[in-house]
Each structure stands twice: as structure tokens, then as C-alpha cells.
Structure 1
Amino acid sequence: MNVEYLEFVKSKTKMDQPSGFTLDHDAIGFGGMQLMEFQRHIVKWALSRGRAAVFANTGLGKTAMQVTWAGHVAEHTVNPVLIAAPLCVARQTVSEAAKFGVHVEYVREMPDDPQGVYVTNYEMLDNFEPDAFAGVVLDESSILKNRDGKTRTRIITEWKRCPYRLSCTATPSPNDYMELGNQSEFLGIMGMDEMLAMLFTHDGGDTAKWRLKGHGRKKFWQWLASWAVTIRMPSDLGFADDGYVLPALHTHEHLVTSQYGDDMFTSIAQSLTERRQAKKETLQQRVAKVAEIVAKETNEPWLIWCHTNDEADLLRKAIADSVEIRGSDSIERKEQAINGFLDGSVRVLVTKPSIAGMGLNLQHCARMAFVGLDDSFEQMYQAVRRCWRFGQSREVHSHIVSAESLGAIKQNVERKEAQMEEMQASMVEHMTGMMQKAASAAAIEKTEYDPQHEMMLPAWVA
């Protein structure tokens, strides 16, 4: 067969060669506390890949792994590494890194002479020069979820020249496979549009929705497992689960009565407008129920999750010793309130999952309540995991106060939870064995080509 034609066929394979470096297993770490064996295994793999994603469940030590990865990249390249983290998580990163022998400095603007490892908030990322850094880490990288968001576009565009990139989150795509395209694009593996064209098709008549092509399902997961590791428990990688078995989570659902609808039976709000109206009409009842629940255990710290300022205002008035933080508060005000909740000077913290629902370690608290639900399963999952995470020693009680008229939201959240579990199971299944190939290429063929006969060119072509 024509050699040039064979080379053309090979060029149709999308390759992303590892760009990292290899360290001996025993060389991973910087003293202080030692990484667990499964954490060391992941860090070694991510360093060899150079650009990788770590989708590890809450409490499995993402912070320890990412600061160790960042420390080795800074040491190997003799250039700085920047970690971007959600609000208040940055300071936790500094203290957590120190436990593992990694010095991380919290900064809000570009250092004059950057060296070593730095951490900043996503809100401050515009103040830094990407070309000055050898590596970048996105802590809670699901911030990339909004494909058209300005933050997502800016991060991918401005940091694409950074040779070392690490993406870390517990929920890479709880209800939408497309978010994985954002992760891939940030890491420089494959662009979103290319991934969609290659492995996905429009879902029926709705051109805004995509689903995996039947023949591409296995290939998609194999490709994903070559640049991302998903771990729910250490046993997913063949390690013992000792110390990582969570105490029980008790979810209590409370339904308040609603007058929504014109007939004698409660109508279920379906459209966005109907849901907003149903939430407004049940606001007083839902807040009163949360206050009643909190009053039954006054010796416990409580996390109260809300979604609107109206809910927050009423909760703050209904619960005497509560402190509320909202988006309009200064960074200093938010940090002061969260630190007060951590040290015990604040017993009840009222806030939104969008503000404090990502990355924070709040295992001292084992009681929380939601004054309602919205359609974001990811926010609810992350909010619960602030307390119910590895390291929690007590059983956790989560109270969800909703209305009968908001049943459609509950069904939507449950559907997304089932999708996340299916996705994680598929990723873990296809990940088996892939981690053993520490420097494997992220490859996916665009077209299956299995020639059975030698190609004969017509005489006029020859």
C-alpha cells in the first residue's frame, strides 16, 4: 500500500502526547505529612501527563495532591505555579499545603519576582500574567461548566500557553457530559466543538442537547480515562478504603402546604415562571419550618442554604444567632464570617451554595438545612459535601424544606443525581488499567479504518 496514504490515515488519529516528567514513587512529596499511597499514585501519573484532570470525591485529598503536584512542577521547571481557588478556599490551601511541606503564598495580584507556588481567588485571576507561570491548577474546576461564560473563555484562552495544567474537582459533570469538553479544552486535549462533532449527536429535534453516539460510547470513556482519573473511593484504584468509609447521611424531607393552583389539589409548577411564583407563595412557610428545625438543636452548629436574598433576609431574622453572607459582601466580610463559623464564634451560617458551597472543609458541622431546592444538582451535592466528607466523624443530618408545588424540581435533581452516578461508574470502569500507563497518549481515532484489501489506483492516476 502507498506509504504516503498510510501516513495520511495515521494523521486522522487525534493525539495529545504527555508533556510531563517522571519521578520515582518514593520521591513524591516534600516532607511533613505523607500522602496516602493512592494519592501518591495519582500525583505521579498527573506529573507524567503534564496536563491532566483529577476528579476525586470530596475529602479524598485533592488539596494535598494539587499542592504536591504544583510543588514538583515549580521545582522541576524552576518557574512559579499558580493555583486558582474559590473564595475562602485559598487560605485553607495555604494551611493545608504547609502540613505536607509545601510553601504556598496567598496573593491577590502579580508578585514582583514570582517564585514557587501561589494561590489566589478566581475573582483575582485577571491580575496575573499567564506567561510568567510554568503551571496552573484549577481548584474546583467545575467553574468551567458554563461554556459561554466569560470566566471560562478567559481561563482557556489566556492560560493555554501554560505547559503544565491540572484540573481538580469532585463533580466534573454531574448532569451534563458536555462539561467534560470544557475540561478537555482547558487542558489542551481536544476542543469542545471537535469533541461534539466526533462523538456526539443532537438529541432528537432539540439541537441544543447532545448525546453520545452509540458506537462512540466506549471510545469516549477510554479517551477520557487517558487524561482524567475519577476516584470515588481508594478501592477504585485498587487501594484499601481504610479511613475513607463515611458515617451515615440522613436526609429529611419536609413539605410545607401550598395554595398554588386553582383546583382543590396542589398543582405542580413546571415552567420557570410558575416555579418562581410557587417559591414566592411558600417563602414564609419554608423559612418558618427551617427556623423550627434549627431551634430543636441549639447546641449544634448549623449550615443554612438558601438561593435568594429574600430567603436570606427572612432566615437571618427568624434565627436569632445567625450570621449571613451574600454575594455583595466584601471578600474580607465573607472570610470573617466563614472563619467565625470554623472557630465556633458563629453558630449558624446562612448563605448560598454559589458563595460557600465549593471546596470548604466544614467537617466540624453535622447539621444543615436547605430552605428550598433549585435545579442545580451540582450545587446541592457540593453543599452537602461541605460537611459530609471524608474526615467527618459524626452522622450528618440534612434537612430539605420544600413545597408540594415544587415537586418538579425535586424530580429534576433526582434525575441529575442518577446521571452523575452512571457517569462516574462508566469513568471508573474504563479507567481500570489506564492509570498503569503513566505516560499514555490521549488518543482517539476520528474514523475506524481496518483495510482488508490492498488499494488499487486507476491507471490514469498512476
Structure 2
Amino acid sequence: MGTYESFIQNKRAVMPPSGFHVDRDKLHSSLFDFQRDLVRWALLRGRAAIFAGTGLGKTRMQIEWAMNVHRITGGDVLLLAPLAVASQTIREGAELGYEIHMCRSQDDVKPGLNITNYEMLHHFEPVLFEGVVLDESSILKSFTGKIRTELIESFAFTPYRLACTATPAPNDFMEIGNHAEFLGVMSRTEMLSMFFVHDGGETQKWRLKGHAEDAFWRWVASWGVVLEKPSDLGYPDDGYILPPLNIYDHVIEVEGEPAKTLSQRQRARKETVAERVAACAEIVNATDKPFLVWCDLNVESEMLAAAIPDAVEVKGSDKPSHKEKAMLDFAAGKIRVLVTKPSIAGFGMNWQHCADMAFVGLSDSFEQVFQAIRRCYRFGQRQPVNVHMITSSREGVVAENIKRKEDDFRKMVSEMIKYTKDITSESIRSTEREVAEYVPKQPIIIPSWLRSERFAS
């Protein structure tokens, strides 16, 4: 064990701080204690990740972080966000008294804080920014490898970097590796070779080396913090207790045997669209409350919009301006029913005004379903949230699988927090200034023309 720990130390597995110290009392007074301490910690790290549960105020924390980077350096900061989330961030910045400029290209950049959508990155010159923030950074997994690589390479020399996203699945080591690589801590390849062994023939199957588990999470805690609620780091949970989440499983009986394979399930979805849409429309049309309807297929989206009189449809082929307006209008209460896909609107939006949603066809991605539910079921929600999962008898127990994966996710997150909370709690609550340790390894040879005559001999 000692030898392995020595190996880890030699590899500099714990990232030293590279940022600056800010008194917590000088951070915005509207931030809760745990938020101020997290911002202060992230500024001290210089390059950090905040993995925090939905509704914990990641937007406010990243805005305050960015503003302090601007104040200290005098340089510009770029925030990257999903579509429609950028406008939401600008409004939240205004509540803090900060101006954030919406930009479509480098020509639009003004001194201070600037924000754009991920899709617009190629219109910017990343080297001109002192700081960068990735909002909803886990959506990098949804992008192509090309964009992920572009982000990592574009900001490789940016002094201050912050990535904010919801708590990752603890066994999604590639997501953790993506963040480490973006922050310049370590490449994914290095991370895998140092802490993991390849598990079988599948390229995605990696498991932690038995003796490396503590070292791995200690390494993660040196640049990232994980929390689902404030008490995970020793703060009170006042105002952060969520109301009940009610999941209703509607299984429509249709002819045919239950699907056993993925292709059979996809065929069953296509062949039972009419029945599922009718069941959803009946539920949504029976109320005048705000309603969010998630679908998986284009034909579902079209039929739902036709069957629900006051529904507005947002689909992938729509212009970005329409998508953004519809999502913001739904948030403002101007639209009662929004019909869309988790892949389009499942990240970043705050829709606590809505407490009712339906899934008409479930994605096979647990993360997409989980994130979609969290648009409404997040801290700040005052009402019990009702989720209607509408499937056909041919699709099998899809909703049950989602619930099982949710339970597994919760157990794994608890394990992840258990490993990191003591380390991160101590680091975040500490009031001492940390300084990056410098360990000289090579003597300096001073050229003769720099030596004074007194030392020349």
C-alpha cells in the first residue's frame, strides 16, 4: 500500500491550487453560506468542477465565480451554456446586479462577463479569455467527440476554468475523466491507467483497482466537489427539502407479446403511438395546470401537439430562436403545455412553476429521463411533482427499470459522497490561504553576465 501511495504522490495525483484567495464576506450577500464557501474554494483552486444536485444554485455560483475572476484579472470571462439557458443566466446575473453580455461571436464580446451557446464556440477566440465556465458540463457527453476535443483544446491555456453540472453517476468514470481533462488536471488515458483496470472485452467497462479507491476519490476531491444537498458538506438543509415525487405508471394494454430486445421495443413504440398519445392527451386536457410532455419520436411530438389544444411543440428541426422563445415562454407561464424531447430541453432549464409532466415514450437513457424530471423536481419546487409514464404492454416494464436505475443511482451517489465529503468539507470550510507547493528539482545556473563582481569568484 505504501508503495502505491508513493507512486500516486510522484504522479502528483492531488492537484495543487492555482487560483487566488477571496474573503467569503466579500462575495455576494445573497449567496447561502455553502454557496459562498464553494465559490471561494473554486476561486482558490483556479480550475475546478462543482458536481451539485439540481436546484442548489449552480448558476449563481458560477456567475459569482466569473465576476471575481474578472475583478482580479481585469480580463474577460466566457460562459458556455445550452440553448435558452443563456438567457436564463443573464436574468439571474441581473438579479445579482451583474451585466452578462449575450454573444454570437467574438465581435460581440464586451469587457466583463459574456455568454454564448455551446454550438457557437467556433465563432470565438478562446485564447482571449482569462476565464471560462462550462454550464451543464455533463452535456459534453451528448456532443460529438469532435466538440468535446475542441473544448478541451480551445481552453487548454485559459488560466481559470470552472465546470458545473449535476452529480455524475459514480460509475460514469468517462464523465469524470472528461472534466479532469478539460480542467488540465490529467488526461482520461492517464486517469484510466493510474486508477483502473479494464473489465472484460467491452471498451467502456472499467473498474477501480481495489487498492486505488481511496486514492481515486481523494484525487477527485482535490479539484471537484460532490454534493446532493447542503448537509453533505455539513451545512443545514433549510429550504432544501424536496416535496414528494409521485411516479404513475400507465400501461396501455395492446395486442402482441412484450418486447424482449431493444429493436422489438422500438418497433412496439412506433406501432402504439396513437394509443399512448390519446392516453396522454386525456390526462393533460383534464387540467388547466402547467404541463410538460416529454416524447421520444417525432411522430409522437406531432400527434401530441394536435391532440392538446394549447400545446406548443419544440422539435429538433426548429430554428434556435423558436426553441429558445418557447422554453422561456413556458418558464414565464405564457405557454401552458410544452411538448418536446429530453435531448432538446432536458438540461439546465428551471421550471419549478410546473409540477406535472408526462413521458409518452421513454428514452433508453436513464440520465435523460433523470435530467428531464429534474427540470421541475428541483430545490425551489413547492408542490408535489407528478410524473406520468405512459407505455404500452408490448414495451415491457420500462418505468420499473427507470425506478430501479434511480434507486441504484441514489445508492451510488451516497457512496461517492461518503468518500469525498470529509475531504471536501474540510477543504471548503477552511479559512486558511492555500499556496501551490513548489518543489525545485533542478539547480539554476546563473549566466556569468548576470553575476555581480562580488560573486563572480
Q: State whether TM-score is above 0.5.
A: yes
Query: Counterpart in 1 of 2:209?
Result: 213
Distance between the aligned counterparts of 1:255 and 1:163, measured in 2?
53
Aligned residue for 1:111, secondary structure, equals helix
Query: Counterpart in 2 of 1:281?
Result: 271
Partner of residue 292 from structure 1, selected from 258, 282, 285: 282
Question: 1:369 touches 1:400 (CA, 8 Å); kept in 2?
Answer: yes
Question: 1:269 touches 1:405 (CA, 8 Å); kept in 2?
Answer: no
1:191 matched to 2:181? The reply is: no
Distance between the aligned counterparts of 1:409 and 1:324, measured in 2?
25
Query: Counterpart in 2 of 1:151?
Result: 147
Question: 1:324 touches 1:351 (CA, 8 Å); kept in 2?
Answer: yes
Query: Counterpart in 2 of 1:449?
Result: none
Question: 2:167 touches 2:228 (CA, 8 Å); kept in 1?
Answer: no
Residues 294 and 442 from structure 1, CA distance in 2 versus in 1: closer, same or farther, beyond 3 angstroms?
Answer: farther
Query: Counterpart in 1 of 2:68?
Result: 72
Cα deviation, 1:76-127, whole Å, max 9, x if unaligned, reads 1110001101110101101101112222111111136641011111111111
Question: 1:174 touches 1:416 (CA, 8 Å); kept in 2?
Answer: no
Aligned residue for 2:153, secondary structure, equals helix
Residues 9 and 343 from structure 1, CA distance in 2 versus in 1: closer, same or farther, beyond 3 angstroms?
Answer: closer
Counterparts in 2 of 1:57-456, with a 5 A limit? Answer: 57-111=53-107, 114-145=110-141, 149-173=145-169, 176-260=172-256, 266-271=257-262, 273-297=263-287, 299-407=288-396, 409-410=398-399, 412-435=401-424, 436-437=426-427
Residues 302 and 441 from structure 1, CA distance in 2 versus in 1: closer, same or farther, beyond 3 angstroms?
Answer: farther
Distance between the aligned counterparts of 1:384 and 1:328, measured in 2?
23
Residues 255 and 154 from structure 1, CA distance in 2 versus in 1: closer, same or farther, beyond 3 angstroms?
Answer: same
Distance between the aligned counterparts of 1:442 and 1:209, measured in 2?
35
Measure how far apart 1:430 and its partner are.
2.2
Residues 189 and 10 from structure 1, CA distance in 2 versus in 1: closer, same or farther, beyond 3 angstroms?
Answer: closer
Residues 12 and 401 from structure 1, CA distance in 2 versus in 1: closer, same or farther, beyond 3 angstroms?
Answer: same
Distance between the aligned counterparts of 1:344 and 1:309, measured in 2?
25
- Runs of 4+ residues over 3 Å off in structure 1: 7-15, 111-114, 408-416, 438-443
Residues 107 and 16 from structure 1, CA distance in 2 versus in 1: closer, same or farther, beyond 3 angstroms?
Answer: same
Question: 1:174 touches 1:377 (CA, 8 Å); kept in 2?
Answer: no
Q: Which amino acid aligns with 1:330?
A: K
Distance between the aligned counterparts of 1:325 and 1:155, measured in 2?
27
TM-score by length of 1: 0.87
Distance between the aligned counterparts of 2:328 and 2:7, measured in 1?
59
Superposed CA RMSD? 2.3
Q: 371-380 or 128-137, which moves further after superposition?
A: 371-380
Cα deviation, 1:35-70, whole Å, max 9, x if unaligned, reads 000000100000000011111111110001000000
Q: Which amino acid aligns with 2:181?
A: E
Q: Which amino acid aligns with 1:155?
A: L
Residues 242 and 77 from structure 1, CA distance in 2 versus in 1: closer, same or farther, beyond 3 angstroms?
Answer: same
Question: 2:15 touches 2:219 (CA, 8 Å); kept in 1?
Answer: no
Q: Which amino acid aligns with 1:348?
A: V
Measure how far apart 1:211 and its partner are.
1.7
Residues 128 and 54 from structure 1, CA distance in 2 versus in 1: closer, same or farther, beyond 3 angstroms?
Answer: same
Question: 1:245 touches 1:390 (CA, 8 Å); kept in 2?
Answer: yes
Distance between the aligned counterparts of 1:46 and 1:93, measured in 2?
19
Distance between the aligned counterparts of 1:340 and 1:113, measured in 2?
26
Measure how far apart 1:432 and its partner are.
2.5
Question: 1:52 touches 1:187 (CA, 8 Å); kept in 2?
Answer: yes
Question: 1:59 touches 1:389 (CA, 8 Å); kept in 2?
Answer: yes
Residues 211 and 406 from structure 1, CA distance in 2 versus in 1: closer, same or farther, beyond 3 angstroms?
Answer: farther
Counterparts in 2 of 1:4-43, with a 5 A limit? Answer: 11-29=10-28, 34-43=30-39
Aligned residue for 1:53, secondary structure, equals strand
Cα deviation, 1:205-252, whole Å, max 9, x if unaligned, reads 434421222222222112112211111111111111111111111111
Measure how far apart 1:9 and its partner are.
9.4
Q: Which amino acid aligns with 1:417?
A: E
1:50 matched to 2:41? The reply is: no
Q: 192-201 or 208-217, which moves further after superposition?
A: 208-217
Distance between the aligned counterparts of 2:374 and 2:336, measured in 1?
19
Among all aligned residue pairs of Structure 1 and Structure 2, give the percentage whose two residues are the same amino acid: 50
Measure how far apart 1:258 and its partner are.
3.3
Distance between the aligned counterparts of 1:180 and 1:57, measured in 2?
16
Question: 1:143 touches 1:152 (CA, 8 Å); kept in 2?
Answer: no
Distance between the aligned counterparts of 2:226 and 2:434, measured in 1?
16
Measure how far apart 1:34 and its partner are.
1.3
Question: 1:363 touches 1:391 (CA, 8 Å); kept in 2?
Answer: yes
Question: 2:226 touches 2:421 (CA, 8 Å); kept in 1?
Answer: no
